[in-house]
Structure 1
Amino acid sequence: MTLTPDLVAMPAGVPSVRLRGRFVAPDGTPVAGTVQFAPPTVLTLPDADVISRTAAKVTLDETGAFEVDLIPNDAPGMSPRGWAYQVTEKLKGLPPRVYHIMLPGGTGPVDLADIAPVSPYAGNYLPVAGPRGEKGDPGTPGEVSSEQLAALEARVAPRPQEWTQATASTEWLITHSLPYRPQVTAYDSSGREIGGLVEYPSPTSVRVVFAYAETGSAVLH
């Protein structure tokens, strides 16, 4: 078997999911750059005697596309469980974009365009869905199990959440329902991005500290 630089053979006993993606400009021109997929911490797979602690980084080809095999979020025996990949897109001529995805096992090839959240602040390129495969034979009708429903829900990436700070303050205490520590982008009342110290006092709250009292909004992704 011949492997491209982004398709590295997994060790024996380690499950994987094939993830594909393609980026083009609105005029159809391929976009150059890299996409990184990082787990939040060290992953251990005791059944396969494997420890993974590095991010997977792929380079877009001349068509703006990539393919990579990744360990699924729900691999049997994995510790920890319930985590999400942090995706960092670094595309030529554009600011980086960071978001999170779930990638459960037991699925065929997955297209990043189907699971990546849509950002209202990044409109300079288009993630392109891959070609549709041949239609398979109809399966036998049956009931949907709770495990199947959980796997379907896990395929939907959490969407960015917005917060509005109407009262000027040097500290914004933001509550959220995302299942991870989110990245925070803050904007003043005129829509300009502003920087602040980001803290995480609890799993469902974020505190942003500014040098001066500010009003505005924040996007958690």
Structure 2
Amino acid sequence: MAKIIDTGRANTVVVEAQRTVAAVREVSRPVKVSSPGPAGPRGQDGAPGANGAGYTHEQFVASTTWTIAHNLGFRPAVELYDEGGQEFSADIGHLNENTVIVTTVTPVAGFARLN
């Protein structure tokens, strides 16, 4: 809500505004689909993604933050697997079209598939 304050000077007005700013962060989370649509076309090499584009990141050292520079030129879907091959969930942020940040509560080593 804004409040106008008269300063007593000619042609001078002060507007005092109160606002709430919320932090916004893009996060990808798994979505359950009740009835999936038809599959899209495959890339040139038969792999999913634009023109067969995809990337696998290996995280050898357990960490709570994985920075993945994939250079795919788009924001890919991300699948995460621990060292034992078990899929796990984490906060996934797309820094830009070429970099993904994965954040976990506890340190994890494993790999990520980006498509």
- Report the TM-score range of the alignment, normalised by the length of the smaller protein: 0.5 to 0.7
2:108 corresponding residue in structure 1: 214
Q: TM-score, normalised by structure 2?
A: 0.59
Out of 151, 167, 184, which is 2:61 matched to?
Answer: 167
2:37 corresponding residue in structure 1: 34
Question: C-alpha separation between the residues in 2 aligned to 1:160 and 1:179?
Answer: 11
Any gaps of 5 or more consecutive residues in structure 2?
Answer: 1-35
Change (3 A) 1:117 1:209: farther
Task: Give 1 or 2 for the bigger CA radius of gyration.
Answer: 2
Other structure's SS at 1:157 match: helix
Give the aligned length.
80
- Give the deviation of 1:211 after TM superposition: 1.4
Out of 195, 205, 208, which is 2:99 matched to?
Answer: 205
Question: C-alpha separation between the residues in 2 aligned to 1:168 and 1:205?
Answer: 19
Change (3 A) 1:161 1:170: same
Out of 77, 88, 94, which is 1:194 matched to?
Answer: 88
Other structure's SS at 1:215 match: strand
Give the AA of the match of 2:47: V
The percentage of aligned residue pairs carrying the same residue is 25
- Give the deviation of 1:202 after TM superposition: 2.7
Matches within 5 A, 1:76-87: none
CA contact (8 A) 2:67 2:99 kept: yes
More strand by proportion, 1 or 2?
A: 2
Give the AA of the match of 1:160: G
Any gaps of 5 or more consecutive residues in structure 1?
Answer: 1-32, 36-88, 90-100, 102-111, 120-155
CA contact (8 A) 1:117 1:160 kept: no
Give the AA of the match of 2:97: P
More helix by proportion, 1 or 2?
A: 1
- Give the deviation of 1:34 after TM superposition: 2.6
Q: Which runs of 4+ in 1 moved over 3 A?
A: 112-117
Give the AA of the match of 1:209: T
Change (3 A) 1:214 1:157: same
CA deviation string 1:147-167 (max 9, x = no partner) = xxxxxxxxx713221000011
Q: TM-score, normalised by structure 1?
A: 0.32
Root-mean-square deviation (CA, aligned residues, Å) is: 2.6
**Greater RCO (Cα-Cα under 8 Å, separation 6 or more):** 2
